[in-house]
Structure 1
Amino acid sequence: MLVLVGSPRRKGNSATLAKAVQRGAEEVGTQVSLRFIDDYISSFLRDCRTCRLSDGECSIKDNFRTLFFDDFLAADGVVICSPVYWYGLSAQIKSFFDRTFCYYAASYPNSDQVLKTMSSKRTGLVLASEETYPGASLGIIHQLQEFSRYTHSEFVGVVHGIGNSRGEVSVDPGSPVLLAEQLGREFFSRKYSDYRLDTERSKKVWPT
């Protein structure tokens, strides 16, 4: 599992929830990498037609490639942890997804392999915001839902913690820290279904 943290704050609410996901996952023996995107990305996506190197590699001199290839592509599942900024994902998370274009675009020599390994993962979303208003997170949920569907991935869960001051999600009466731990524990075992009209399925959801 890769846990991607899009907040610049190492002891903030997003980090608190991310570490809870990690704890839950490690309790059941899952190998977890927790990464703060700030450690890897220093630039937004540029025009690949003008800045791509002659061997097809990205010319931006930061550690995005390491994060993308060694952690994201190698992972069976990814949990995105972000604060809610202006009713959207943090710029760090958005930049991570934007930068993937450099390597799945046809102008990258191994784009077919990148596309293959980008797909068919499990995904989860963990959010922290000051507002309790349910609509505050809907746009973000929809964005990750569509990313998951586009990449044939399984979007298995969302946790939303409420807090403003550092670590305040820990006293949210909705218990998001416990829910984040549960998401981590169940991440690879949680039942996933996304039916279409022609989907073959049992008349029962749960075995009896």
Structure 2
Amino acid sequence: MRAQYMHMHDFSGRRFLFLLGSTRTGGNTETLAQQAAAQLPSDVEQHWVRLAEMRLPAFADVRHDGDGSYPPPTGHARTLLDATLDATDLVIASPLYWYAVSTPTKQYLDHWSGWMRVPGLDFRARMAGRTLWGVTALSGADHSDADPLVGTLTKTARYMHMDFRGVLLASATRPGQVTTDEDAARRAKTFFTP
């Protein structure tokens, strides 16, 4: 199914947003995402955002206060919202932290709850049909440890009516170790393209 989808899908006009969820730069997940992104056609737009540098405000759940609406985001939150809505493809590149997405990644996804309730924004409807991908590095060879992270992205895509294309996984513990995972390097070459 995936190979058939990619074969039939044209990359023209695609805009990839890479959301780096690590709390450090140059980590294994980022390196793995770069390996995969290097295979994209040169005319495909790539926008890279380091979530830890975006200084999002703490998310507050006010759904049951007043009319339950949220004000339009400002500052870095607005920058992220605009980048998200501009992308055809979102790549969550989060290392595995305690079997789930990293704190910056979770905070970004939490803000989706508010963006869905900004009057006139129609965030959920506008996200429908976009493509969601995941990239993660984890310590150890048991990739089932990443099942909760994969589940988060799978269910997020389902709820938002997005097309979920899976998670590229690699085993790496120390910085730079991902380059020795030959199986992950091979999968990175075909993750986005057939």
Is TM > 0.5 for Structure 1 vs Structure 2?
A: yes
Q: CA offsets, 1:54-95, max 9 Å, x none?
A: x95357x640211122x1111111111111111111011110
- Distance, in Å, in 2 between the alignment partners of 1:133 and 1:123 is 23
- Distance, in Å, in 2 between the alignment partners of 1:150 and 1:50 is 20
TM-score norm. by structure 1 comes to: 0.76
Aligned Cα RMSD in Å? 2.4
**Residue 14 of structure 1 pairs with residue 29 of structure 2:** yes
1:115-154 paired onto structure 2 within 5 Å = 115-154=124-163
Identity %: 24
Shift of 1:38: 1.2
Q: Which has the larger radius of gyration?
A: 1
* Counterpart amino acid of residue 107 in structure 2: S
Conserved? CA contact 2:32–2:185, under 8 Å: yes
- Distance, in Å, in 2 between the alignment partners of 1:78 and 1:170 is 24
**Partner of residue 31 from structure 1, selected from 26, 29, 45:** 45
Conserved? CA contact 2:127–2:161, under 8 Å: no
Conserved? CA contact 1:28–1:185, under 8 Å: no
Say how many residue pairs are matched: 177
Conserved? CA contact 2:143–2:169, under 8 Å: no
Shift of 1:141: 0.8
Instruction: Structure 2: give runs of 5+ residues left out of the alignment.
Output: 1-15
Conserved? CA contact 2:100–2:148, under 8 Å: yes
**Partner of residue 86 from structure 1, selected from 80, 98, 113:** 98
**Residue 180 of structure 1 pairs with residue 181 of structure 2:** no
* Counterpart amino acid of residue 11 in structure 1: G
Distance change >3 Å, CA 96–CA 51, structure 1 → 2: farther
The alignment partner of 2:193 has SS state of helix
TM-score norm. by structure 2 comes to: 0.81
Shift of 1:116: 1.9
Instruction: Structure 1: give runs of 5+ residues left out of the alignment.
Output: 187-208
Conserved? CA contact 1:41–1:96, under 8 Å: no
Shift of 1:162: 0.8
